[in-house]
Amino acid sequence: MQRVLLHRKPTLSNPPTTKYRDLTQTVSASLASLRAGTPEVMKSFSELGRHATSEGALDRKTKELIALALGVAARCDPCIAFHMQTLVKLGVTRQELEETLGVVTYMGGGPSLMYAASAVAAFQEFSQAEGR
């Protein structure tokens, strides 16, 4: 799988090369071999995600905000990208996002704050793509 670095310092000779939409496409393409090689495992993982985020006592958006928070705390750029893409489609507001990221920062400290900035960048990118 191609390693995508989003947190390197951009310079004129080293501009940022990957955006979050690109990251979701790259990771999805790379997962194709896992889907082919372990179809039952990947199907089960997909089902788990579908059931875990379905409507219940918590709505889908709240569950996706929790998933985003865990992705930020785990410092997982692809997790941030995929969950932010879904959150934007579910109509997350910037205020909902920022309050969630505040809790993540409170619980995870400085490293979570740095990835909270990544989540804001992903929100802006996916919102622009959706025309919001």
Residue extents of the structural domains in the chain: 20-129
With a cut of 90, say whether residue 3 has pLDDT above it. no
Residue in the block written with tokens 């219940």: 56
Cα 126 to Cα 82: distance, rounded to the nearest angstrom: 10
pLDDT reported for residue 18? 54
Which residue, among 131, 126, 114, 91, has the nearest Cα to 8 in the 3D structure? 114
CATH class in words for 20-129: mainly alpha
Residues in the chain: 132
Q: What long-range pairs does 5-10 form, CB within 8 A, spacing at least 24?
A: 6/77, 6/118, 7/77, 7/114, 7/118
Q: What is the mean pLDDT of the chain?
A: 88
Helix (H, G, I), strand (E, B) or coil at 75: coil
Given a cut of 70, whether residue 80 has pLDDT beyond it is yes
